[in-house]
Amino acid sequence: MSSEGSPTSKFHKGAEEAVHMAWNGNYDGAELILNAKKEVNPRWALEFALVHTVKGFLKQSNEQRESLLDLFKHADGLATAAKYGQPLISDSSDDEDVAIAESAEQDVADDLSEKDRKKIAKIKAEAAKKQREKDKKDFKKSLKEGNDNRDISWKLECDIVYADALLARSVIQLMMNSYLRGGINLRTTWGCYHALMQEVEKDTNGIIPREVVNNIKFGCGTFYTYLALVPAGLMKLLNAIGFISDKELGEQYLTEVFQSNTIRSPLAALVLCTYYLFLPTGLGNVHETLAKAKVVLEAMNARYPDNTHFHGYTNFFHRKRGETKEALEAIEHATANAEKGGLIPLLLQYLHADTLFMDLQFAKAKEKYELVLSTLEKTKETFAYTGQVVLSLAACYMMLGDEAQANAHLKKVGTMYNPKSKNDANSPKYAARVLKHQHLLPMIGVYILYINRDLAHMSKETSNRLLGELERMTAGRDLSAPEASCMYNLFKGVIQKCLGNKDAAVAEWEKVLALEKKLPTDSMVLPYVYYEMGELEYRRGNLQKSKEHFEKGQALKGDGHETLANRYSIAMKQLRRAIADGK
């Protein structure tokens, strides 16, 4: 798959071919290549771990995440051990010689006792340690004399492997709610990337191989871009301990790497799409970010026609445009490719169900959610979104008129959700709230669409249908409790906004504000209403009024508010900039 790319480097030869194979769905072929050297070559070990990450992305299980931590730890350990030694560069004849030597060594080992094998292994380990110490001493001497540029490039290659592996470990730890460990590792990772970029900037003669530079730009670009989303107050603290944010430069670096078709090209494309499709745009123009995402998705789907991930991301692209027909086609394409690659696409099954739910096909969505749970029952794995699946299934039953089954599934959420997954944190809290306050039950279907952000992107045709569903589900129901009536007004207002009826939307939300003092302090309704009103006033050009709404909403700590907190932070950052610019 690298036929359209640049020349493969001496460091990445073979590994890059495996990477392109994996992203195009040939996981077995990729593993076969990387397996040959993953125990000795840090680059091979890293890409082997990343191939498993690409595969495991579709499972999102605790068990898979734990195994990935081990694989990445092995890679960063090899990088640390190898960086002061001779570069691990090989061609096909070298590989054949190594294979023959290893085969001969294995024949001898088979004739030895277990005690002798352990003794030889210990001697080898001690010799390797002494050699590493000697290599480090020799390296520093040659570096001081400035006469060994080849080894400097190899050290940078090992350092970037270490940084990439540590970045992966950090992200996995954060996803598993290990915030302290993940945060410490993330800080160390940034220090590595920043130091490496300084080496690149000093390299005025172009000695560092292009693909190593691209790998460094990938790491720095990821940090620069995502740190730009951090609230201004926190960013000042992060600046003080060495972090730097620069969204434009980060996006530029990632785009360069994506376009290069080198070893980090697919991952840079995935990071860009994640940034464009999933991170809050706040008060920004969602159509601009979607246009950027389209360029990347079309390029990657053409480059890797049998891929799963970019077709899966295409599903989100169409959902954010309200195009449910195209979104369903994309997720079906992604699922077919995953199954062709020998995978059980658990995450895609879940996304397929969510897309059907967005299209208000509740019976078909119910079948897909049930498929996810039956798959988990067979595999005995722990899915990152199990609680959300059960909650969504309860919503399907409610929308289909089976209130008893809806409540039965709500009762299961507390025991079935994944406590190690930050993605599943709010599911048991909301399920418990609905069970306690049954007047909220009729609106659970709209709640799922709202929290998934599908409601915000619905087409007018689907929004009209949903308005009818909301009226159908609440007809004859007791909505006299303040939280019930206000949740109804929140959702009806958002639907009216989707239909272009802004005044009608504001009228619904003002009904909520009129009952503000009667609402429970832990209700989700007020923080969301204030956000919706703040955003609408911003679009109307009423910046001071927008600021008032945002400040009130941001100060509230209602149930589920943590899912909204990042949107508030980004919106306030953008609003302050707009006010300062006099817009």
| CATH number assigned to the domain comprising residue 444 | 1.25.40.10
For the segment 284-308, the average pLDDT, to the nearest whole number, is: 95
Please give the structure tokens belonging to residue 159: 């350092």
CA distance 100 to 21: 26
Residue 141: pLDDT band (50, 70, 90) is: low
Last residue of a domain, one of 422, 444, 476: 422
The pLDDT value recorded for residue 342 is: 87
Judge whether residue 76 has pLDDT over 60: yes
Last residue of a domain, one of 394, 422, 450: 422
What's the burial of 107, exposed, middle or buried (CB within 10 Å: 0-12/13-18/19+)? exposed
Report pTM. Answer: 0.85
CA distance 390 to 396: 10
CA–CA distances in Å: residue 568 to residues 71, 217, 502, 531, 550: 37, 30, 21, 7, 7
Determine the distance from the C-alpha atom of residue 201 to the mean position of all C-alpha atoms in its chain, rounded to a whole number: 30
Assigned domain for 547 exists:
yes
Assigned domain for 407 exists:
yes
Q: Mapped to the 3 state alphabet, what secondary structure does 404-454 carry?
A: HHHHHHHHHHHHHCCCCCHHHCCHHHHHHHHHHCHHHHHHHHHHHHHHCCC
Assigned domain for 400 exists:
yes
The pLDDT value recorded for residue 92 is: 41
Assigned domain for 437 exists:
yes
| Domain span including residue 350 | 344-422
Query: Quick one: 447 and 523 in the same domain?
Result: yes
Query: Quick one: 405 and 448 in the same domain?
Result: no
Domain count, the chain: 2
- Average model confidence (pLDDT) for the chain? 86
Query: Quick one: 512 and 465 in the same domain?
Result: yes
| Amino acid present at 403 | E
Assigned domain for 448 exists:
yes
Query: Quick one: 511 and 562 in the same domain?
Result: yes
Judge whether residue 81 has pLDDT over 80: yes
C-beta of residue 424 within 8 angstroms of C-beta of residue 417? yes
The residues, ordered by sequence, that sit 6+ positions from 546 with a Cβ below 8 Å of its Cβ are: 534, 535, 537, 538, 575
Query: Quick one: 466 and 574 in the same domain?
Result: yes
Judge whether residue 511 has pLDDT over 60: yes
CA distance 22 to 52: 9
The pLDDT value recorded for residue 29 is: 94
Residue with tokens 């294995």: 106
Assigned domain for 415 exists:
yes
Give the model confidence (pLDDT) of 29-40 as tens digits: 999 999 999 999
Q: pLDDT exceeding 90 applies to what percent of the chain?
A: 62
Give the model confidence (pLDDT) of 327-370 as tens digits: 999 999 999 999 998 888 899 999 999 999 999 999 999 999 99
Region of poorest pLDDT, from 243-257, 406-420, 439-453, 471-485: 243-257
Region of poorest pLDDT, from 51-60, 255-264, 461-470, 548-557: 51-60
Query: Quick one: 410 and 431 in the same domain?
Result: no
| Amino acid present at 260 | S
Straight-line distance from the first to the last Cα atom of the chain, in angstroms, rounded to the nearest whole number? 48
* Residue (of 85, 159, 83) closest to 127 by Cα position: 85
The pLDDT value recorded for residue 227 is: 75
Query: Quick one: 399 and 528 in the same domain?
Result: no
